[in-house]
Amino acid sequence: MLHMIFLEPEIPGNSGAAIRLSACTGSMLHLVEPLGFDMDDAKLRRAGLDYHDLAHVKVHPDLDSALAEVPGRVWAFTGRASTPYTEVSYADSDGLLFGRESVGLPAWAMDHPRIEGLVRIHMVGSARSLNLANSASIAVYEAWRQIGFPSGV
């Protein structure tokens, strides 16, 4: 199982879309507090549609507790990295760490001893960042493809 980790997500729609992504890919979604929304938020539920019961989601009080549940390596996604996400060889049980929508990953998270490496998703030079849920989708599908789409149809 792949693991998506959202550090202090702020926008309920992004986490709702990630809930749907979790259900569709069999990945685990770890949400690290503080959250910028309540888990009962209507926008979160609407974005996740009827996939909430099919998804694997856990809320953690801090990054250490989330990372303790990721048995594989952890890759931190940031625009400040030089290694493209496509140059990583992902393995089943790896974690993909993403930061807040407004500021991305803080330095302390990227410096965490569990971080295997910093990776980036390509985009044109004039763009600042991709949407959080879109970034997670790109990364999860690449990692899932590399491990052979287990349980996929």
Residues 19-72 pLDDT 10s: 989 999 999 999 999 999 888 767 666 655 566 677 889 999 999 999 999 999
The Cα 62–Cα 60 span in angstroms is 6
Please give the Cα distance from 7 to 35 (Å, whole number): 8
> What is the pTM (predicted TM-score) of this model?
0.92
Report the amino acid identity of residue 25. Answer: T
**Which domains are present in the chain?**
3-146 (3.40.1280.10)
Query: pLDDT tens across 77-125, in order?
Result: 999 999 999 999 999 999 999 999 999 999 999 999 999 999 999 989 8
Q: Quote the CA–CA distance of 59 and 88 in Å, as a whole number.
A: 27
